[in-house]
Each structure stands twice: as C-alpha cells, then as structure tokens.
Amino acid sequence: MRGSILAAGILAAALAGTASAEETTLTLNTPGGAVQEGGRAVLWGPAAKKLGFQVKEETADNALDVLRLEVGSNSVKTDIIIMSGYQAAIAGTEGMLEPIDYKAVDASGFLPGTAAPYCVGIYGYAAVMAWNTKTYAKEAPSSWADFWNVEKFPGKRSMRSDAEAQVEMALLADGVAPKDVYKVLGTEDGIKRAIAKIATLKPNISVWWSSGAQHGQLMKDGEVDMTTGWNGRFQTAKEAGGPVNYTYNQGILTYDCFAVTKGSTHKAEAMKMINEMSSAQSQAGLTKYVSYGPLNQGAYKTGIISKEAEAVLPTSPANSGAMVVQDIDWWAKNNDHVQQLFEDMMTE
C-alpha cells in the first residue's frame, strides 16, 4: 500500500517534470498598475504566446527588496524583474542580477545608455523644468541657467529633496556641456561644484518636493513659479488647463528596465522573452497604456505612435536629443556620498 503511494508520487513528480519542460513558466515581477496592465497586453503577453512560455505575474513596490530577499535566502523564484535603471545598477554590483546576454537580446535600436550591462530599458521618463505660464507670460525660461537666474526670472523655486537628477541640472546651469556632465561629476570637485551651485539658489527655493504628486500640485496651485519634476505630471497639469508649461531642453532622461535574477533557472528563456519585449512593435504598443517613451527608437517608425503623441514623449528623436541620459552606474557608485553632501547643504 505504502509502496504504491510512493510510486504514484514519483510518477506524478515525473509527469510534472515533463510538463514543465514542455511548457516553461517564467515568473515576472512588476510594479503593478498601468505598467502591469499594459505590459500584459503588449509586452509579455504576446511574447510568451510567440515563444510558447507561460508567465506568472507577481507585484512588488520595491524590486530591490524582492531581490535581496530571494537571492539572499537562496530561494530564487523570480526570473524577470522590472526595476528602475538605478536600482538595477545597484543590484548588479551587489551580484543579484544575471548580466544581460546581448547576443540574445537585440538592443541595437535603443537610445544610447538605455541598454545596460544588467538591464534592458522598457520606457523612459525625464526630470525636466516646468514654470508658471502666468508668472513668465512675456518670456519663458528655457534652460537650467534660466532656472538659476533669479534676476531675469524672479519667483519662487522648488527642487527635489533628493540629489537625484538635481546635481546634473546644477552642472548644466553652471555651464557644463551635456556630454561632460558625468565627466565633471567623476571628480570630488565636480560633485562639490554641483552642490555649491544648488546652495546658491537655496534662498529662492521655498519648497523641496518629495513626490511627483506634490510637485504637480505646487505648480497647479501656483505655490511656486518654477520647479524641477517629471514630465508626465506637467503634461497632465498642462492638459488639464493649468498655467503650466515645461521643456525637454536639458532634461535628465532615465528609465525603468527588465533585469534577470541571479540564479534564475530560466536564464536563457528570460533573455529570449526580453528580446521579444524589446522589439519596436512591443515598445510602441506600450505608449497606449503609459505616458512614458519607448527606448527602442524603431518604435517611432512603426506608425503606431501618432505625431501628436510623439511630440510629448520624452524619448522621441526630437526631444531626446536635447537631454542627458542619466548615468545609472555613476549613481549606483556615488549615491550615498552625494546624498550626504546634498543633505548637509539642504539642512544648513
């Protein structure tokens, strides 16, 4: 009796084994919301169908926590994970991600800097400058130098209560060429120069924003006249008829991406999936669900994205050329130090 149960168990296990060999199930971790909904419809949904895989979705607020938990406890179940480029750079240096196999993933059409050693970009967004169109009705500011020019453009400013993207803006305002920003930031003097530049504007900064919702609100209410912030929020405020406009000129472009968990048992399959999901067609389709820009530049040639939509997407050829693609590796290396200096400046 006992023997037969055991035999049945072994048989079942064997059957399950063959089943999973025929039908690979990849576990994909997403941040939820519109990204998950859109991703299912145009990214992993069609890709899995084409490759004959099954996809199991999971959601998490903080992808780094998921990786630390799974890799740290040696019980990896997530194969592909969506995270910010910056988080992926950290996770990569901490040994929690598999390097992307660019022989399997075709990223030749991507914006330079958006297909990294440990992650492949999905969509991009930008930290830009926005202003109140009533305050600056005669002449609108157009660069970070204008943001810092309180004589020509008097008014209250707002910056992020976090150094991320703000130090790049400060250097651009200080006359550093977009291509040299990270070269300058590569030295301690360069970092100090950026922080000092922000310190000079401090008397005119009335609010340090901490969330996208907050800077959107500050502009809508007219609480500040100029702010740094994310393009999506300002576009929404502008469309709602608020006295808000923004520019992509000298914006800091950053992105979310697909990464593969270190120790994933479906590494090769995950690369295949990512390759499918990175196609121009897939990335173009995602713009129907989220207001972020495709990184595969081929997406703008598929005819899926209208001319009107293209004009407001941060990654379109016209807009992205004026921007600095954020160096996520620099941030992964210098974040703690820069944040510390930034905070010293902020609380002074």
Partner 1 sequence: MVALNPPASLSVAQADNGGRLAWDARLERLVSFAFTLPCLAVVALCVLVPCAWLFFLSAFGSDGKASLENYQRILDGASYARIFITTFQVGLATVAACVLIGVPFASFINGLPPRRSVIFLAAVLLPFWTSLLVRAYAWLVLLQRTGIVNSVLMGLGITKAPLELAFNHFATVLGMTHIMLPIFILPVLGAMRNIDSALIRAAASMGASRSYTYRRIFLPLAAPGIAAGAILVFVMSLGFYVTPAILGGGNVNVISMRIARSLSNYSNWGAASALGVLLLVFTALLFALSYGVQRVLLSRQRS
Query: Which residues would be at the binding site for partner 1 (CB under 8 A)?
Result: 62, 64-65, 68, 156, 161-162, 206-210, 221-223, 335-336, 339-340, 343-344, 346-348
Query: Least distance from C-beta 135 to partner 1, angstroms?
Result: 12
3-state helix, strand, coil in the chain (%, to 5): 50, 20, 30
Q: Residues 6 or more apart from 341 whose CB is under 8 A from it? A: 163, 191, 192, 195
Query: Least distance from C-beta 222 to partner 1, angstroms?
Result: 5
The one-letter code for the residue type at 66 is V
Is residue 295 a contact partner of residue 111, using CB atoms and an 8 Å limit? yes
Q: Rounded to an integer, what is the distance from CA 117 to the centroid of its chain?
A: 15
Query: Of 164, 177, 172, 179, nearest to 193 (Cα)?
Result: 172
Cβ nearer to partner 1, comparing 166 with 296: 166
Query: Least distance from C-beta 90 to partner 1, angstroms?
Result: 9
What is the rounded distance in angstroms from the CA atom of residue 292 to the CA atom of residue 127? 12
Query: Of 227, 216, 250, nearest to 157 (Cα)?
Result: 227
Cβ nearer to partner 1, comparing 308 with 348: 348
Cβ nearer to partner 1, comparing 57 with 223: 223
Cβ nearer to partner 1, comparing 50 with 337: 337
Query: Least distance from C-beta 211 to partner 1, angstroms?
Result: 10
Cβ nearer to partner 1, comparing 289 with 342: 342
Phi (first) and psi of residue 106, to 5 degrees = -90, 105
Query: Least distance from C-beta 289 to partner 1, angstroms?
Result: 26
